[in-house]
């Protein structure tokens, strides 16, 4: 049963539905911790825009983090123009026609392969003041789901470390590593050991190393002091400048998605149709898969069978025509009625950035909420024009 949570105090009656809500207090708490890690460890910490790119809070984020990390041209432009600070870009498939514009925004550009580096090197080095690196695959696995494992066999992401020599990095000043996905400190510790074992022969040829993101630094009870000490020790021993680019950790527990019940019915078991959609608004629910928590409800396993004899077990689904548009199955103390508002928790990171308008479904509005003062500001709503503008 999810109950003791900052969003318990949110009055959803003042919001449009569906609506993403960002708790500014929790967001700033996360940012303060990340800045402490940066200050005390000497590492540089960036926001990974691929996970969270809400520029309505750019000013707050830029107070604490050194800049942003992008995975595409438009993210790079957003990072530089809306957030400011350092902009580090890594684009697995770098298009010839994007290179020049990308370099107007990116301070660091990370290439996916040596072939990419050799193909564009002349144009890249003609731009003074830029730093270039290579993404490297250490060949170490921490992610169980291959959909999210950048180091899975046959991965297209990065050059295998086992095939690289120090002289291959001539002209490059750093390497980029990424192998975590919502992991704890122990996984990071193992990762860093693997990086030293499998990539240490490259350290003498570089000035910096980007260790990626995927580490839940801002999760409750995360051992931040251990992380700081580990980074200090690594930096002292290798002499490398260290870069981290958290995404999830920036907005962890700082976002929710408010949704309204549109219909209630029964087909063997009870179900409710919501005005928010798994396939449109939270696709990782289907892809990962996972079930988001709902405030005040017990989250049941995905394999839960319908129970006609227990009407407080309700399956929640979206308003689209996709049969698999299922958010999850829950047990409610008071089963929701048509018109009730439900609050889905932790649906800011990797949710807002992935939303679509399949079936002409409404995009969720965006609100900023100060959970200390209860100040609420709806900063963006979407309309038919946002749907139409993507079509022709």
Distance CA 288, CA 157 (A): 19
What gap in Å lies between CA 281 and CA 256, rounded to an integer?
Answer: 12
β 174-176/375-380 pair status: unpaired
Contact present, 211 and 244 (Cβ < 8 Å): yes
For tokens 């050059």, what's the residue?
159
Provide φ and ψ at 30, rounded to 5°: -60, -45
Distance separating alpha carbons of residues 292 and 329, to the nearest angstrom: 10
Closest CA to 44 of 64, 29, 25: 64
- Cα(143)–Cα(152) distance, integer angstroms: 8
Taking the C-alpha atoms of residue 32 and residue 265, their distance in angstroms, rounded to an integer, is 46
284 assigned to a ligand binding site: yes
Annotated binding site for substrate: 284
Q: Which residues are annotated as a binding site?
A: 284
């Amino acid at each position: 049963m999810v109950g003791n949570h900052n969003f318990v105090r949110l009055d959803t009656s003042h919001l449009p539905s569906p609506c993403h809500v960002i708790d500014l207090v929790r967001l700033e708490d996360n940012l303060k911790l990340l800045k402490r890690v940066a200050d005390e460890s000497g590492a540089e910490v960036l926001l990974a825009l691929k996970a969270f790119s809400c520029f309505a809070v750019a000013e707050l984020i830029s107070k604490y983090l050194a800049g942003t990390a992008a995975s595409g041209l438009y993210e790079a432009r957003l990072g530089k123009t809306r957030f400011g600070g350092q902009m580090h870009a890594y684009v697995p498939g770098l298009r010839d026609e994007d290179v020049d514009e990308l370099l107007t925004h990116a301070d660091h550009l990370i290439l996916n392969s040596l072939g990419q580096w050799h193909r564009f090197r002349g144009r890249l080095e003609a731009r003074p003041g830029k730093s270039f690196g290579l993404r490297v695959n250490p060949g170490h696995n921490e992610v169980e789901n291959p959909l999210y494992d950048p180091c899975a066999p046959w991965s297209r992401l990065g050059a295998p470390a086992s095939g690289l020599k120090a002289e291959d990095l001539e002209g490059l000043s750093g390497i980029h590593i990424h192998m975590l996905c919502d992991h704890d400190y122990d996984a990071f510790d193992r990762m860093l050991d693997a990086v030293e074992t499998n990539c240490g022969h490259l350290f003498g040829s570089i000035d910096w190393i980007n260790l990626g993101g995927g580490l839940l630094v801002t999760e409750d009870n995360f051992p931040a002091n251990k992380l700081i000490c580990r980074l200090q020790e690594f930096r002292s021993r290798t002499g490398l400048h260290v870069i981290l680019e958290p995404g999830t950790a920036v907005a962890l527990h700082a976002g929710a998605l408010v949704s309204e019940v549109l219909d209630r019915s029964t087909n063997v078991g009870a179900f409710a149709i919501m005005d928010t959609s798994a396939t449109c608004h939270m696709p990782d629910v289907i892809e990962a898969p996972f079930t988001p928590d709902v405030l005040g409800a017990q989250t049941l396993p995905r394999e839960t069978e319908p129970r006609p004899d227990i009407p407080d077990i309700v399956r929640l689904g979206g308003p689209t025509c996709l049969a698999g548009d299922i958010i999850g199955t829950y047990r409610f103390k008071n089963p929701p009625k048509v018109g009730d508002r439900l609050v889905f928790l932790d649906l800011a990171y990797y949710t807002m950035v992935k939303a679509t308008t399949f079936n002409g479904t409404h995009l969720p509005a965006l609100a900023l909420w100060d959970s200390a003062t209860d100040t609420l500001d709806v900063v963006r709503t979407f309309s038919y024009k946002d749907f139409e503008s993507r079509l022709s």
